[in-house]
Structure 1
Amino acid sequence: MRIAGLGVPELLIILAVVVLLFGVGRLSKIGSELGRGIREFRTGLKGDEEVSEAVSQPDPSANKESTE
């Protein structure tokens, strides 16, 4: 298996160096923050779609009030 020209042994060495530099606890914290950020990003995208749908479909009750 090759990813960007790196094999399994090279990837394991890189992983070991990262663990030595940051420590296991800090890596888990970084991973959880990254996951939370991705979730918030997806939620934000869903929220924007709901807002744009609401804007594109006018409220029929608003037309009744303006004509009376």
Structure 2
Amino acid sequence: MWQGLGGIHLLIILGIIILLFGATKLPALAKGLGQSINIFKKEMTDDEKKAQAGDTTVQNTAATNTTVPTAPAEPAAGPVLNPGPSAQPNTDSRR
């Protein structure tokens, strides 16, 4: 994929980026990109350490949070807020 890119091509791409974003905003963009990459790498290493340690808390919590309902739920008491299309037509004469 990157075999056809030479030095001239990269300079042209860099020139287009400078034209689009402006030279003053490039350092801020690079800083944000670097911080994002660092955060991503840190999270990946944390996940790898958890996997190597045999941490199964995600699997255990999924197994303990399963509940079996004993009886069907009763409908809530109160007025129907959205009766749907089967509601009676509006007979208000103040139209």
Which TM bucket (shorter chain)?
0.5 to 0.7
- Unaligned 5+ segments in structure 1 are 57-68
Alignment match, 2:5: 6
Residues in 2 aligned to 1:45 and 1:19: alpha-carbon distance in whole angstroms: 32
Asked if 1:22 is matched to 2:24, the reply is no
Amino acid at match of 1:30: L
Number of residues paired by the alignment? 54
Larger Rg: 2
**Partner Cα separation in structure 2 for residue 7 and residue 21 of structure 1:** 21
Distance 1:30 1:51 in 2: 32
Q: What's 2:93 paired with?
A: none
- Kindly report structure 1 stretches of 4+ aligned residues shifted beyond 6 Å: none
2:45 matched to 1:38?
no
| Pair 13,51 (structure 1): closer, same or farther in 2 beyond 3 Å | closer
Task: Give unmatched runs, 5+ long, in structure 2.
Answer: 57-95
